[in-house]
Chains A and B, each alone.
Chain A
Amino acid sequence: MLDINVSIEQQITLVEVSGRIDSMNAHQLGESLSGEIDNGHIHLVLDLSKVDYMSSAGLREIVSALKKVQGQGDVRLAQPSPRVREVLEMAGLDSIFRIFATQAEALGSY
């Protein structure tokens, strides 16, 4: 099960995800992110604190979203769980995404 909640916090788009992100449902995250970006919401915070599992299918979607806003906006990550951080590091994405320890820090970074 994957839950995605989107809210706007002072012109920042906060995307809170919970559950398991795998090849079965990663496209839902991708569609949600690209829907926001297509609507001009290009400053995003993706809160991954409640994601307990993410395969490379999930990484593919967040990289696509970052590429889409590149040069204009950003996709910043908030409090990835240790398991998610491990896959981010394995793919070298910890040096490509800006990652924050808390949601407030990520929102305040814009």
Chain B
Amino acid sequence: MMSQETRIRIPGLLEQIAVACEFVGNAAHQAGLDERAAYHCQLAVDEACTNIIEHGYQLKGGDKVIDVICQADAHAFTIILMDDSPAFNPLLRPSPNPATPLHERTTGGWGIYFIKQLMDEVRYAWRGRNQLIMVKRRRM
């Protein structure tokens, strides 16, 4: 299979996340991922974009963007998110523990944990912009 790449740029606003999710869902289906894997990709993108917009852009991202790039090859479906908030590696945040009892639970922090659970591989890079690379490997 030849490598395929599609991309979309969304404004850094919460109401635009559904657009990115739909784009990724379509790209995942087109790449031949099954329904559940495509849903996992959409949820991972939702969580990552929410973090960028709420924390990186401080809910003031109307004049900023998130670039969403989908790459498909014979082995994997890869999603790359790029944003212009200050350099921040979300993967360094300590993961919440699902065994935490209710009274000890704090409300946040689950987004990046979900991404790590939903995707097979997650990497962060800084190349003048934040880059979050999320990989779903094809099941052989």
Residues of A within 8 A of B (CB): 20, 22-24, 53, 55-57, 59-60, 63-64, 66-67, 70, 83, 87, 90-93, 96
Contact = CB atoms under 8 A, between A and B. Distances in A.
A20 B17 CA distance: 12
B107 to A, nearest CB: 5
B18 A63 contact: no
A66 B102 contact: yes
Interface in B46-79: 46-47, 50, 53-54
Contacts of A70: 102-103
Contact of A24 (B17, B97, B99, B103): B17
Interface residues of B, number: 28
Given A83-B39, A91-B98, A92-B98, A24 B114 contact: no
Contacts of B96: 91
Contacts of B102: 63, 66-67, 70, 96
A64 B53 CA distance: 22
Nearest to A66: B102
A22 B17 contact: yes
Contacts of B108: 60
Nearest to A71: B103
Contacts of A24: 14-15, 17-18
Contacts of A87: 43, 114
Contact of B17 (A23, A63, A64): A23
B50 A92 contact: no
Given A57-B50, A64-B107, 19 more contacts: A20-B18, A22-B17, A22-B18, A23-B53, A24-B15, A24-B18, A53-B39, A53-B42, A55-B43, A56-B114, A67-B103, A67-B105, A83-B39, A90-B98, A90-B114, A91-B96, A91-B110, A92-B100, A96-B102
Contacts of B103: 67, 70
B58 to A, nearest CB: 14
Contact of A59 (B17, B97, B110): B110
A75 to B, nearest CB: 11
5 closest A-B pairs by beta carbon, nearest first, are: A92-B98, A56-B110, A23-B50, A24-B14, A60-B107
A78 B43 CA distance: 22
